[in-house]
Structure 1
Amino acid sequence: MGEESMTHDSQALLEGIQDELGIEDAAGAPLVAIIGRPNVGKSTLFNRLVGRREAIVEDRPGVTRDRLYGVASWEGRHFLIVDTGGVDPSLDTGLPKHIRSQAEVAIEEADVILFVVDASEGPTAVDVEIAEHLRRSGKPVIVAANKADSPKRELEAAAMNELGLGTVHAISAAHGRAVGDFCDALLELLPAATEAKPETIPPGTRIAFLGRPNAGKSTLINSLLRQQRVIVSDEPGTTRDPIYLPFRFRERDIVLTDTAGLRRRKQVARAMEKLAAIKSIRTMERTEVVVLVIDASEGVTDQDQRIARMAFERGKGVVVALHKWDLVRFDGKLARDRLEHTLESLSFLEHPHVIKSSVVGSGRDEGAGRSYNLDELLDACLSTAAALNKRIPTSALNEELQAAVAAHSPPIFRNKPVRLYFATQAENSPPLIVISANHGRCLNPAYERFLLGRIRRRWHLRGVPVRLVVRGRGRGNKDRKGG
């Protein structure tokens, strides 16, 4: 099980989570949490499973404090794995309490719990107490009796059956002894990524608020709902779990989603924030429109661009909220510069709606402040959702294609003229336009942008990705592949 068996997402956004975790769909993979008392070899087993040295291993307890995430691969299956600090229920103050809380969060999120014990010591009082806690969790548990690096130790590991958690697997993480058979047993407990129980989302247009920590996402949502439904705090990372909030606007059903702020790789150091970022990626997969919340006092950052690009490349409509506009609006030059920089930095979003929003006054974090341009923000979201799901009549699309060719003929392809015969919309959400031509992949990027620009302007497709495929008519499969 090694690094070479993992696939890498070349588009890794977040330079943080998916690039760091190492598989394209890390967000949907099952999660295994490694739990155990200090110094039983949890980090050694973690490194063995992910195939590289990521967890710090020292022969003293308490080295691993926060949760550390990685990706393991076995028999073609990928799963997330999280290493936790050693749990000692008898210590409930200071750092041990912090470690225990981290482990409890990991247990709550895990699909399977990997309980590591020391085969050389037999079941201790702490092991028995942890085992009782794991039974109460109701999660599937697999027991690894580590440090069984000899036949004698394997026999001693049988004493761990007293824990009452099922079959005990005697392994040596340091030497790889019996780890393969253990992984086979672990796979039998793992749910497939597609078998995970889907979260119930209320009906309506799904709008997710994404952005950096402290950009004002939770304040915006509370103001839209006119009540405090999500916690607002100056401490970044307050929101960890996506929250789905249905309400009505202009006789339309809308579902708002608040998510954790997303940070760059070197800043997503705490394991809890890594988990929150994974959840934000999962939320993005389930939404239609992403509201990119930008702190107007700071302007667009590299991370804002990464978030926007991730949403756009995943086929989501994007609306930009220049929030906290009250902090710049009275400085005319700064306000103009901030708006121009926003439009320039996010030009790849293809003319998204940019709304200058503010929530001010007493009670603003509880939904009781004075808000500005929030109705306009929701109108922009509904307009973007309509564009995302737009169905363009074939006759009108071909009319526009003919007008575009008449205004500007396609460039020569391989010393031959290009003829564009027919256009149709094959899909929506996001729109996919298929053009039949005398050659496949015969349009250069500049001419494709020219065609898409006309289509966007005529049908008001702002802030949504529109894909274009050119197929050769009457040619072999090779020519008929999309460009």
Structure 2
Amino acid sequence: MKKLPIVAIIGRPNVGKSTLVNRLTGSRNAIVHDEAGITRDRLYEPSFWRDRDFLVVDTGGIVFDDDSEFLPEIRQQAMLALSEAVAAIFVVDGQTGPTASDEEIAEWLRQQSVPVFLAVNKCESPEQGLIQAAEFWELGLGEPYPVSGIHGSGTGDLLDAVYPCFPPVEELPEADEEQINVTIIGRPNVGKSSLLNALTGVSRSIVSSISGTTRDAIDLEIEHQGQRYRLIDTAGIRKKKNIRYGAEFFSINRAFKAIRRSDVVLLVIDALESITDQDMKLAGRIEDEGKAAIIVVNKWDALEKDSHTIYEYEKMLRDRVYFMHWSPIIFVSALTGKRVKSIFDLIQTVAQEHRRRVSTAVINEVIQEATAWYSPPTTRQGKQGRIYYGTQVSSQPPTIALFVNDPKRFNDPYRRYIDRQFREQLGFQGTPLRLIWRGKRPREVEENSLNRATRV
């Protein structure tokens, strides 16, 4: 794999940058909503044109001479995106025409070393679009390209102009093909973006005490000690009853999709607020999706504590999130960086366990020893449960099929006992373990046994 060149999308608020990004990348990951300031952080999406793969980075709307709310941080994110790009696409609104803000951004872009291409968006009519685009020659950035982010018209001509900026494939640096996808989730204001910045050592996500600062699912590829990671910061997830249709609704959907495409999920909890019902619901979502997970207790530096606090806190967590007893817990401070880098070691461990496969012979040894110590239950009619054999049928998460005479003869306590035996004997730290109890007639078991003996 090669490290792909980056094209930055730049412009003032509400000119349709995210709509154009979705059109260029063929995705719907950038949130599009009729409200200024929806995009705040840098959002990277893969794209393809002719014979070349590249990344498109969406940025927030740039406003100069205004330091209210998140505007200074949005400008910083746009500047960082521009610094790593091979080309920039300056998006303007063809229906509105040139504005003073467009002229300010154009003047700033002329001072940058990166090539700039002018995309006049919202030109839905080909004939009218040429007239609309002609007004933007006055910005002094070369030929304006009329495009429509909604319909896709004109985007081919725009990409043809950008194409020569891509370096030859043979000159692109190599990238490690094996990477671990890590999603950071949690309630609003628990420190997810601060944790992402602490893990990467760069200011990738905007950090603010204002709830709902992060809206998109923010992807960032990094390398740590030879291992590549894709870290995904997500919007804070509130209770469903408090969510209204709009930007927050789309943000939370992006967060849930990020969980599905991850290998490992970091569930961030605020140490000052302990664990809430919403945290437990998020933990249940991770378990249902079958993802490896680490519980990260953030803001540990701000909590008054003694030598017993950490043990009492961990016991409280284990009692509340009992269904994720398999997940490791780490206490960190994203603000000071304490123990943050140790998260990488845990990520590698749980990712390996999530992908691990165990031979059928080893699984059956565990079953034989477990049933010898604790026999399967017997019904009132005197019929005893019997486990014939087991085999791992899949990974991510590890899934073991147990072939038994009758699944109904195995009650919940015995099933939990078998689950515990597998974990004690085989590990599987940090990952859910799925056990499938399948009924099987004795004759089929005998035939399978004979077949296996014949093969041997």
TM-score range, shorter chain: 0.5 to 0.7
CA contact (8 A) 1:223 1:371 kept: yes
Q: In the alignment, what sits opposite 1:450?
A: 417
Tell me: CA distance 1:399–1:248, structure 2 relative to 1, closer, same or farther (3 Å).
same
Q: In the alignment, what sits opposite 1:402?
A: 368
Query: Quick check: 1:316 aligned with 2:327?
Result: no
Which residue, out of 145, 149, 156, partners 1:138? 149
Give the counterpart letter for 1:372 in structure 2.
K
Gap runs ≥5 in structure 1 = 1-27, 36-87, 93-112, 116-128, 130-134, 142-200, 361-369, 478-483
Q: Distance in 2 between matches of 1:404 and 1:276?
A: 46
Tell me: CA distance 1:30–1:223, structure 2 relative to 1, closer, same or farther (3 Å).
closer
Q: Deviation string for 1:361-398 (max 9, x for gaps)?
A: xxxxxxxxx41112221211211111111111111110
Give the counterpart letter for 2:413 in structure 1.
A
CA contact (8 A) 2:355 2:396 kept: yes
Give the counterpart letter for 2:184 in structure 1.
F
CA contact (8 A) 1:350 1:464 kept: no
Tell me: CA distance 1:276–1:476, structure 2 relative to 1, closer, same or farther (3 Å).
farther
The percent of aligned pairs where both chains have the same amino acid is 30
CA contact (8 A) 1:244 1:258 kept: yes
Q: Deviation string for 1:171-204 (max 9, x for gaps)?
A: xxxxxxxxxxxxxxxxxxxxxxxxxxxxxx9851
Which residue, out of 427, 441, 456, partners 1:460? 427
Query: Quick check: 1:348 aligned with 2:315?
Result: no
Q: Distance in 1 between matches of 2:223 and 2:395?
A: 25
CA contact (8 A) 1:203 1:255 kept: no
Q: Distance in 2 between matches of 1:271 and 1:449?
A: 43
Q: In the alignment, what sits opposite 1:378?
A: 344
Structure 1 residues 399-478: aligned runs within 5 Å: 399-413=365-379, 415=381, 416-474=383-441
Q: Distance in 1 between matches of 2:323 and 2:436?
A: 19
Q: Deviation string for 1:127-160 (max 9, x for gaps)?
A: xx9xxxxx9543259xxxxxxxxxxxxxxxxxxx
TM-aligned CA deviation for residue 258 of structure 1: 0.5
Give the counterpart letter for 1:376 in structure 2.
S
Q: Distance in 2 between matches of 1:259 and 1:379?
A: 22
Query: Quick check: 1:231 aligned with 2:198?
Result: no
| TM-score normalised by L of structure 1 | 0.55
CA contact (8 A) 1:358 1:373 kept: yes
CA contact (8 A) 1:430 1:466 kept: yes
Q: Deviation string for 1:244-289 (max 9, x for gaps)?
A: 2112223222111111110002322362111100000111110011
Q: Distance in 2 between matches of 1:381 and 1:331?
A: 28
| TM-score normalised by L of structure 2 | 0.58
Bigger mean CA deviation after superposition, 301-310 or 468-477: 468-477
TM-aligned CA deviation for residue 450 of structure 1: 0.4
Q: Distance in 2 between matches of 1:253 and 1:31?
A: 24
Q: In the alignment, what sits opposite 1:300?
A: 275
TM-aligned CA deviation for residue 310 of structure 1: 0.4
Bigger mean CA deviation after superposition, 435-444 or 214-223: 435-444
CA contact (8 A) 2:31 2:251 kept: no
Aligned-pair Cα RMSD in Å: 3.3
Q: In the alignment, what sits opposite 1:186?
A: none
Q: Look up the SS of the partner of 2:293 in the other structure.
A: strand
Give the counterpart letter for 2:373 in structure 1.
A
Query: Quick check: 1:256 aligned with 2:267?
Result: no
Structure 1 residues 39-438: aligned runs within 5 Å: 137-140=148-151, 204-269=179-244, 271-331=246-306, 335-360=310-335, 370-413=336-379, 415=381, 416-438=383-405
Q: Distance in 2 between matches of 1:324 and 1:430?
A: 30
CA contact (8 A) 1:208 1:284 kept: yes
Q: Distance in 2 between matches of 1:34 and 1:453?
A: 48
Q: Look up the SS of the partner of 1:425 in the other structure.
A: strand
Q: Distance in 2 between matches of 1:352 and 1:341?
A: 14
TM-aligned CA deviation for residue 448 of structure 1: 0.9
CA contact (8 A) 2:220 2:231 kept: yes
TM-aligned CA deviation for residue 462 of structure 1: 2.4
CA contact (8 A) 2:191 2:334 kept: no
Tell me: CA distance 1:436–1:314, structure 2 relative to 1, closer, same or farther (3 Å).
same
Tell me: CA distance 1:225–1:404, structure 2 relative to 1, closer, same or farther (3 Å).
same
Q: Distance in 1 between matches of 2:318 and 2:407?
A: 34
CA contact (8 A) 1:232 1:238 kept: yes
TM-aligned CA deviation for residue 463 of structure 1: 3.0
Q: Distance in 2 between matches of 1:413 and 1:245?
A: 55
Q: In the alignment, what sits opposite 2:17?
A: none
Q: Look up the SS of the partner of 1:374 in the other structure.
A: coil
Q: Deviation string for 1:14-39 (max 9, x for gaps)?
A: xxxxxxxxxxxxxx99999998xxxx
CA contact (8 A) 1:389 1:430 kept: yes
Tell me how many residue pairs correspond in the alignment. 290
Q: Distance in 2 between matches of 1:384 and 1:407?
A: 29
Tell me: CA distance 1:30–1:355, structure 2 relative to 1, closer, same or farther (3 Å).
closer
Q: Distance in 1 between matches of 2:249 and 2:378?
A: 49
Tell me: CA distance 1:472–1:284, structure 2 relative to 1, closer, same or farther (3 Å).
same
Give the counterpart letter for 1:138 in structure 2.
G
Q: Distance in 2 between matches of 1:219 and 1:393?
A: 41
TM-aligned CA deviation for residue 449 of structure 1: 0.7
Q: Deviation string for 1:50-103 (max 9, x for gaps)?
A: xxxxxxxxxxxxxxxxxxxxxxxxxxxxxxxxxxxxxx989x9xxxxxxxxxxx
Q: Look up the SS of the partner of 2:337 in the other structure.
A: strand
CA contact (8 A) 1:290 1:319 kept: yes
Tell me: CA distance 1:457–1:266, structure 2 relative to 1, closer, same or farther (3 Å).
same
